[in-house]
Amino acid sequence: MLILASGSSIRRKMLEDAGVEFDVVRPEVDEAALKAGMDDGETIALELAKAKAASVSSNRPGDWVIGSDSVVRVDERLFDKPRSREEAADHLRLFSGKPMQLYSAVALARGGSIEWSDVGRAELHVRDLSEDFIQSYLDAEWPEVGNCVGVFRIEGRGIQLFDRIIGGHFTIMGMPLIPVLKALRKREILAR
C-alpha cells in the first residue's frame, strides 16, 4: 500500500491525476520544533518531508509512505502559511517586486526509515503588486490560499503574481512529481 502523509489537497490531486493509487494519513509532526535553529529553506523542506514520511511509516511498517513539504524564502526571510487574511496581505506586500525562492521536497519511507528523497527548486519573480490588486486577489482566493506557503495557487489566479518563473511546474505546485513517479517505478510500487 502507498500512503500520502499530507493534508494537502494539491498533492493529493497531483497523485490522483497521475493515476497513482494511495491512501492519505495526516502526519503528526511538530513543524515549529523541527524548524527551530534552521534557516536554510532547502534543508527545512527536506527535513519536514522526511519527518512526515517517517512519522506515518513507523506506524505502518509494510507500507510505502510519501512525505512532502514546501518552503518559501524572500529577502532571506522564511515564510509560513498565513494565519489570517491580513497576514496574507502583509506577505503579498513584502513579496511585491522581489524574487521568491521555493523549495519543494519529497521523501519516501518504509518501516520508519527514509529510502529516498529529492528537493525541487524554483525561483518566482513577483511583479509589483498594487494594493487594489492584493485586495481583489484575496477577495477571489481567500481562504484557499491560506493553506499555501507563498499565498498562491499556481494553477489558479496565483499565476498573476509573477513576471517570470524558473523551475518545474510540479515543484511550484508543491511536490516534484516526476522524480516521485520514477522512485515509485524503481521500487515497483508503480508498473514500469
Q: Which residues of 99-109 are buried (b: 16+ CB within 10 A; e: fewer)?
A: bbbbbbbbbbb
Q: What's the CA gap between 149 and 47, in Å, rounded?
A: 16
Q: Which of 17, 69, 118, 163 is catalytic?
A: 69
pLDDT digits (tens, 9 = 90+) for 99-125: 999 999 999 999 999 999 999 999 999
69 is an active site residue:
yes
Average pLDDT over residues 162-172: 97
Is this structure's pTM higher than 0.85? yes
Q: What is the pLDDT of residue 7?
A: 87
Pick the closest to residue 121 from 106, 99, 149, 102 (CA basis): 102
Q: Which contacts of 73-76 are long-range, i.e. CB under 8 A and separated by 24 or more positions?
A: 73/41, 73/100, 73/101, 73/103, 74/98, 74/99, 74/100, 74/101, 74/126
pLDDT digits (tens, 9 = 90+) for 44-70: 999 999 999 999 999 998 999 999 999
pLDDT digits (tens, 9 = 90+) for 8-56: 999 999 999 999 999 999 999 999 899 988 989 999 999 999 999 999 9
Q: What is the pLDDT of residue 61?
A: 86
Q: Would you say 2 and 20 are in contact if contact means Cβ atoms under 8 Å apart?
A: yes
- CATH numbers and ranges of domains, the chain: 2-186 (3.90.950.10)
Query: Within the chain, where are the H helices?
Result: 9-17, 31-35, 41-57, 85-95, 131-141, 169-173, 177-186
Residue position matching grid coordinates 522581489: 98
Q: What's the CA gap between 6 and 2, in Å, rounded?
A: 12
Whether pLDDT at 148 is above 90: yes
